[in-house]
Amino acid sequence: MSVPSTTSRPVAANSVWPRLEPLLPQVTKPIQYVGGELGAVVKEWDAATVRWALMYPDAYEVGLPNQGVQILYEVLNELPDTLAERTYAVWPDLEKLMRAHGVPQFTVDAHRPVRDFDLFGVSFATELGYTNLLSAIDLAGIPLLAADRTDADPVIVAGGHAAFNPEPIADFVDAAVLGDGEEAVLEITGIVREWKAEGCPGGRDELLLRLARTESVYVPRFYDVDYLPDGRIQRVVPNRADVPFRVHKRTTMDLDAWPYPKKPLVPLAETVHERYAVEIFRGCTRGCRFCQAGMITRPVRERSITTVGQMVQQGLEFSGFHEVGLLSLSSADHSEIGDMCSGLAEQYQGTNVSLSLPSTRVDAFNIELAQELSRNGRRTGLTFAPEGGSERIRKVINKMVSKDDLIRTVVTAYTNGWRQVKLYFMCGLPTETDADVLEIADMAHEVIRAGRAATGSKDIRCTVSIGGFVPKPHTPFQWAAMQRPEVIDHRLKLLKQAINADRSLGRAIGYRYHDGEPSLIEGLLSRGDRRVGAVIRRVWENGGRFDGWSEHFSYQRWVDAAAEVLPGFGVDLDWYTTRERDELEVLPWDHLDSGLDKDWLWQDWQDALGEYEQDDCRWTPCFDCGVCPAMDTEIQIGPTGRKLLPLTPVNGMKLSAGAQ
């Protein structure tokens, strides 16, 4: 059943709504396709010169809360002559109906066909969204291969962390942007605006050339990849004059000048995060060697305590959210985190607003902060991430936490009233043995034993959560061999047995793990080159969708596609995943500049193998990773010495009205 057309809803001229609406009653959670959220913007099509469709290539429930898309959506829509609308991956039930009824990929804002836009920006937090990219391009009626597109098609731009190696999707995207998006989308918008004002000289090719000449937009078609007889890359070189040999990442400095999101989207359907999220800083120099985010987002740039306070106040007033997330890669490291937490806790005491801090730092300070944040009576969970089970492996990954630190910290949490903590680890790390993983069980046992002794209670628990390690580009582990899924799964099984070897302690320990198979495929995609594009395409043609969802992911489909396609290139799945690279191998992303000096990365890889640790440059002298001089950036941290003032009574009143 559907809605009679007597009900009024403003319908844009090029809207697919009249054709989409009758399909919605036949699909699950139709509300995710309806749009009209608080914070959504619909502009006149004809009044805009430059039009962006922005996509997070996963379902609405995962994609809507994405910070990156929300920020760019707002930044672009603030321009008077620019419009930005959002599109998300549609579930297979709707995809089938859209194909049967000829409804193209649409935006949720004004239900316009994605193909009508000038630019189609796709943000990849994970490589597992690649098959959904292909679905969206194909549903939009855009040729799958960038080479087949015409002036009638939008320019497809990839962004997000996975765009630091866009080679596996190089055949499908027209361009990729590395690094922070705020200024990049404005620059791209400017180039498109100018090119259109000139009457689109030289068509699509000229536009892409202009983008490439910025040296910060990568246009794969202007680069040729040559291979050696053994399958390794010989070189990647520009095939056009004027195109830079290397493309550099973007870095947005002075986050106080970019206080987004100001008007956060309030989802209509249930989503994975329903909160006002504010980034309190970007970048991280803790130097965990597995962490791509920490490597590619340097240097650390803090948002000041007062800007954070103002953003929280305005964001809550606009949205009515009850929860605030203070996000970053390691939030407890903000130079004014103590004052920030106590100031916000003070301001929102007695309201229904709860504050949360992703807590992974293993020290007592973290618990102090958590206590401040739980003043309203709601205790958020405490998560500590030692990442590695043994002292030795923690030196390899540069996670400087001792076993004693961990036990002490967790016991402090128990004695302060927490009944449950979560411990996060990885399996399959370079040089790892069974013994390294089994030490996790000892650690968990000791945590429970010490916790029981300190609290005199048996009512304490911990959860061991363990994920598979995936080596990522632009990290010291980019050369590392992955461990085979069978080995990972065997170690996870041994660990489970070891945890439960002591029944009394084992009962208090929860155990969550991920199978090794999806990690291996993530590894193929993260360090893949252009030849992997053929695998992605084959998987997609065979029905691969939503690979980030265990119920949709098929390992076999990926293995089969790799076996079908890769031998033609003289390589295979193992070649990409379980093979260690040597120092001189040309890596597929070497022409993409994250600022990190490759020699430094290699040295850090050697230090990892030698179990040497590396300090944080915020507190010790520069260790020459290369980012600041290469990118002309600097560390931006406080303290500013300012404090958060109590909200004035007027604001307090407004707050209570807004905090619905």
Residue 592 CB, nearest distance to another protein (Å)? 41
Contact 55, 134 (CB under 8 A): no
Q: Taking CB under 8 A as the rule, does residue 660 contact another protein?
A: yes
Cα separation, 346 vs 646, in Å, equals 7
Q: Taking CB under 8 A as the rule, does residue 34 contact another protein?
A: yes
Q: Which of 389, 449, 378, 448 is nearest to 420 (CA)?
A: 448
Q: Which window, 31-39, 111-119, 241-249, 423-431, contacts another protein (CB under 8 A)?
A: 31-39
Question: What is the SS3 string spanning 210-241?
Answer: HHHCCCCEECHHHEEEEECCCCCEEEEEECCC
Q: Which window, 4-12, 58-66, 427-435, 533-541, contacts another protein (CB under 8 A)?
A: 4-12
Q: Could you say which of 193, 378, 598, 643 contacts another protein (CB under 8 A)?
A: 378
Residues 72-131 that bind another protein (CB under 8 A): none
Q: Taking CB under 8 A as the rule, does residue 38 contact another protein?
A: yes
Residues 225-254 that bind another protein (CB under 8 A): none
Q: Taking CB under 8 A as the rule, does residue 22 contact another protein?
A: yes
- Count the site residues for another protein by CB under 8 A: 31
Residues 315-334 that bind another protein (CB under 8 A): 320
Q: Which window, 22-30, 326-334, 488-496, 575-583, contacts another protein (CB under 8 A)?
A: 22-30
Q: Taking CB under 8 A as the rule, does residue 654 contact another protein?
A: no
Is residue 145 classed as helix, strand or coil in its secondary structure?
coil
Phi/psi at 636 (5° precision): -120, 100
Binding mask 407-446 for another protein (x = CB under 8 A): ----------------------------------------
Minimum CB distance to another protein smaller for 26 or for 349: 26
Minimum CB distance to another protein smaller for 4 or for 229: 4
Cα separation, 476 vs 480, in Å, equals 8
Q: Judge residue 575's burial from the number of C-beta atoms within 10 Å of its C-beta, 0-12 exposed, 13-18 middle, 19 or more buried.
A: middle
Minimum CB distance to another protein smaller for 144 or for 269: 269
Q: Taking CB under 8 A as the rule, does residue 150 contact another protein?
A: no
Cα separation, 387 vs 360, in Å, equals 10
Q: Which window, 28-36, 126-134, 202-210, 432-440, contacts another protein (CB under 8 A)?
A: 28-36
Phi/psi at 246 (5° precision): -125, 145
Binding mask 249-288 for another protein (x = CB under 8 A): -----------------x-x--------------------
Distances (CA, A) of 289 to 282, 564, 621: 18, 34, 19
Distances (CA, A) of 215 to 136, 188, 575: 28, 12, 31
Q: Which of 370, 336, 382, 249 is nearest to 638 (CA)?
A: 336
Cα separation, 296 vs 597, in Å, equals 11
Q: Taking CB under 8 A as the rule, does residue 381 contact another protein?
A: no
Distances (CA, A) of 170 to 53, 179, 529: 19, 17, 9
Minimum CB distance to another protein smaller for 87 or for 526: 87
The DSSP annotation for 619-650 comes to: TS-----SHHHHHT---B-------PPPPPHH
Contact 135, 141 (CB under 8 A): no
Q: Taking CB under 8 A as the rule, does residue 450 contact another protein?
A: no
Q: Taking CB under 8 A as the rule, does residue 559 contact another protein?
A: no
- Interface positions with another protein (CB under 8 A): 1-10, 22, 24-26, 30-31, 34-38, 266, 268, 320, 352, 377-378, 656-657, 659-660
